[in-house]
Amino acid sequence: MAAVLFIVFGITLIFGMPIALTLAAGGVAAIAYDGAIPIFVAGQKLFTSIDSFTLMAIPFFMLAGALMSSGGISKRLVGFANACVGWMPGGLGVVTIFACMLFGALSGSPTATAAAIGSVMLPSLKEQGYDIKFSLSTIAAAGILGCIIPPSTVMINYASVTEVSIGDMFAGGLLPGIILGVGMMFVAVWYGIKKQIPRTSFSFRQLWYATINSIGALLMPVIILGGIYGGVFTPTESAAIACVYGFIVGIFVYKELKLDELKGVILSAASSSGMVMFIVSAAGVFGYVMAREQIPAIAANFLISLSDSYIIFLLLVNILLMIVGCFLETTAAILILAPILYPALTAYGINPVHFGIVMCINLAIGMLTPPLGVNIYVAAGLDNQPAETVINRYLICYIVIMFSILMLLTYIPDIVMLLPNML
């Protein structure tokens, strides 16, 4: 049964079938081959896998991100970022990264972050003479901060399959996300110095006006995260509140979101949410077969038998995730691998929140590596460029920085656990 599961999954994946269908095909084929389980169980698992209050946060956060992109919030965040860090060497590159950090605290999606901030920043980057290769690679790399800085839909998926607290995951991702953003800024500053990009001067007046102009956007992460950690509402409820807040700010405060555009915004969010939730649903069938065949326990025992050292274990896991991230979409990778790797954590004394953040960052880096590299294609599409334009030495610099920080976070868990332990 297990062999059928992985053979069908692998063959359908090789032939280019969408990941949700490959997961479902593997699960259904295994159930049909076994014969002991009624085939309608697969249909039940498709439904029960997404019948979760926790997972309701995903479509709500995606709708909130779509409302903010259309409501002028991304443009104001860019203005605020420019006032804060635009005076630094490589100014607009640094602004792009900082703006992605801010937008990531609102949307929870790496592709939405890259698309929203990239569409605002790219015309300015081109106008100021920034190399198109640098510009697109910066947008692609900074976009992944959307799934690391909370709230994050990827962290919600991890929490849903491991039953780890979403609040702890969000807290654990905040400091690593900031460290990653700052690390990327060094590449942009280096580029600015090397290319002798003209610099602007810092202005308190400009910062003041930009802060006032973007206060509606800046308050959103405060409301979301403050409400969660203050015990006012759950992460799922916070996602619904984010939608209402984004609607009010876009319609009544910034007045850039028109009612006749609302249908398109909702349909766009529904399409993105449907894609993710279909993957989650199909992974439920796949996971049911894995659990029935005790694959997670077998895999955990195998990993433990390789080495008694948690250092070796984490190194092997990082290598595995790096490879998987090149070929498998982040949500699917989390839903398949987290249940397999999770049982081994207890044996090595690894905190599941720390491991979850390492896993999320590792797979996020996979969004910058071909052949899948989703953010590469998102960035390239902003200027109708081939993907090869985004894959360049600047992107490699970003990946090296991110991988170095990943290793730091992997073996110094106190960095990740600082905020969760304080709450």
- How far from chain centre, in Å, is Cα 25? 26
What is the Rg, in whole angstroms, of the alpha carbon atoms belonging to the chain? Answer: 21
Rounded distance between C-alpha atoms, residue 140 and residue 114, angstroms: 6
For 298-324, give one letter per residue: b (16+ CB within 10 A) or e.
ebbeebeeeeeebeebbeebbeebbeb
In the numeric block, the tokens 């593997």 are attached to 26
| 8 A C-beta contact, residue 140 and residue 365 | no
- C-alpha distances out from residue 224 to 166, 234, 284, Å: 13, 9, 29
Q: How high is the pLDDT of residue 258?
A: 86
Rounded distance between C-alpha atoms, residue 354 and residue 342, angstroms: 12
Number of Cβ atoms within 10 Å of the Cβ of 287:
23
Model's pTM, two decimal places? 0.88
Per-residue pLDDT of the chain (423 residues; tens, 9 = 90+): 778 888 998 898 888 888 888 989 999 999 998 878 888 888 888 888 888 888 888 888 888 888 887 887 888 888 999 999 989 998 999 999 999 999 888 877 888 889 889 988 999 999 888 999 999 999 999 999 988 998 888 999 999 889 899 999 999 999 999 999 999 999 999 999 998 888 888 889 999 999 998 888 888 888 888 888 888 888 888 889 989 988 998 888 888 888 888 888 899 888 888 888 888 888 888 888 888 888 888 887 887 888 889 999 999 999 989 988 888 888 888 988 898 899 889 889 999 999 999 999 999 999 998 877 889 989 999 998 998 999 999 999 999 999 999 999 999 999 999 999 987
**Dihedrals phi, psi of 35, to nearest 5 degrees:** 80, -20
Rounded distance between C-alpha atoms, residue 214 and residue 226, angstroms: 19
Q: How high is the pLDDT of residue 178?
A: 96
Q: How high is the pLDDT of residue 80?
A: 93
pLDDT digits (tens, 9 = 90+) for 16-29: 888 888 989 999 99
Which two structure tokens, joined as six digits, stand for 269?
A: 């969010």
Q: How high is the pLDDT of residue 133?
A: 95
